[in-house]
């Protein structure tokens, strides 16, 4: 999308504008008008919380990702984003949750695997590219788990600094994503006002709609559903670690659809470490 042109602010904000429409339609079709009314009621009662969580977890996260993709090489964005695997335990600790040492070790194993996969594609680049590419994504890698953890903590109701949001509608994954999307709307309006981007192209309108449906609605809903089922911090870290597989799938997609080069020995070791780390997560979690 960044190579095809179009301002990064539209790439980011249009995705969530489309998500807002898609999620409202999905709730109306699958659950009926009452479900949508329940969502709006929960948002009205806790609007400050949802604006903070949505602005951090969706706004800051995706605005910085889109910004970096417009100014830096793709491998910088993809590699740096994997920091989110290490960010999750730190976020959990910040919220007063304990993360077992064995979980941290496995997270480290997965991260080493991702680094090895990307080393083969890394070329020497300028300091400016590193700053415009790596630093914003580094912040985004922390913003995403912080926003998601805020929702998890509010649902659990054990954090005295956060409201205890106990409502049946939160059991619906689409409803949770819609609440975060609604909360991010002020962020996107402010971003568009200050960036004043030129009008988006037809291609940008279509591509962001596709990303909004597949990644924003379907993938995010499944991801938050898995997070919603977690009862322990270790399980949350395990769910967040599955994001590391995006590099593996991207590599496969590049080979199949874009005639990309098959990874060498270093890349294959990286893929193996990533898969090994995820499998070990599941085995240890099951035994626990």
What is the tens place of the pLDDT at every residue in 181-210?
Answer: 999 999 999 999 999 999 998 889 999 999
Residue 257: the pLDDT is 74
CA end-to-end distance (rounded Å), the chain: 43
Model-level pTM? Answer: 0.83
How many angstroms separate the CA atoms of 196 and 190, rounded?
10
Give me the helix-helix angle, 101-119 and 83-94, nearest 10°. 160
Residue 124 pLDDT greater than 60, yes or no: no
The count of C-alpha atoms lying within 13 angstroms of the C-alpha of 71, restricted to the half-sphere facing its C-beta, is 20
Kindly list the domain boundaries of the chain, sorted by start residue: 1-71+139-229, 74-124+230-288
């Amino acid at each position: 999308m960044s190579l095809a042109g179009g301002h990064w602010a539209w790439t980011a904000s249009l995705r969530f504008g489309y998500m807002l429409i898609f999620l409202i339609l999905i709730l109306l079709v699958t659950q009926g008008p009452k479900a949508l009314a329940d969502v709006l009621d929960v948002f009205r009662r806790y609007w400050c919380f949802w604006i903070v969580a949505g602005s951090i977890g969706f706004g800051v996260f995706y605005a910085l990702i889109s910004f970096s993709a417009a100014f830096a090489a793709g491998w910088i964005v993809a590699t740096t984003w994997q920091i989110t695997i290490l960010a999750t335990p730190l976020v959990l600790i910040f919220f007063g949750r304990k993360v077992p040492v064995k979980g941290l070790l496995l997270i480290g194993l997965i991260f080493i695997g991702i680094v090895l996969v990307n080393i083969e594609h890394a070329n020497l680049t300028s300091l400016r590219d590193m700053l415009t590419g790596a630093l914003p994504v580094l912040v985004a890698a922390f913003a995403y788990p912080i926003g998601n953890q805020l929702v998890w903590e509010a649902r659990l109701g054990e954090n005295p600094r956060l409201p205890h949001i106990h409502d049946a509608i939160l059991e619906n994954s689409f409803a949770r994503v819609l609440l975060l999307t609604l909360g991010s709307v002020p962020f996107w309006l402010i971003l568009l006002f200050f960036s004043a981007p030129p009008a988006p192209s037809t291609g940008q309108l279509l591509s962001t709609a596709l990303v909004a449906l597949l990644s924003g609605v379907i993938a995010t809903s499944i991801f938050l559903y898995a997070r919603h089922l977690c009862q322990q911090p270790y399980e949350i870290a395990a769910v967040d670690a599955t994001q590391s597989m995006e590099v593996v799938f991207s590599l496969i997609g590049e080979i199949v659809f874009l005639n990309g080069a098959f990874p060498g020995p270093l890349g294959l070791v990286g893929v193996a470490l990533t898969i090994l780390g995820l499998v070990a997560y599941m085995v240890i979690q099951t035994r626990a």
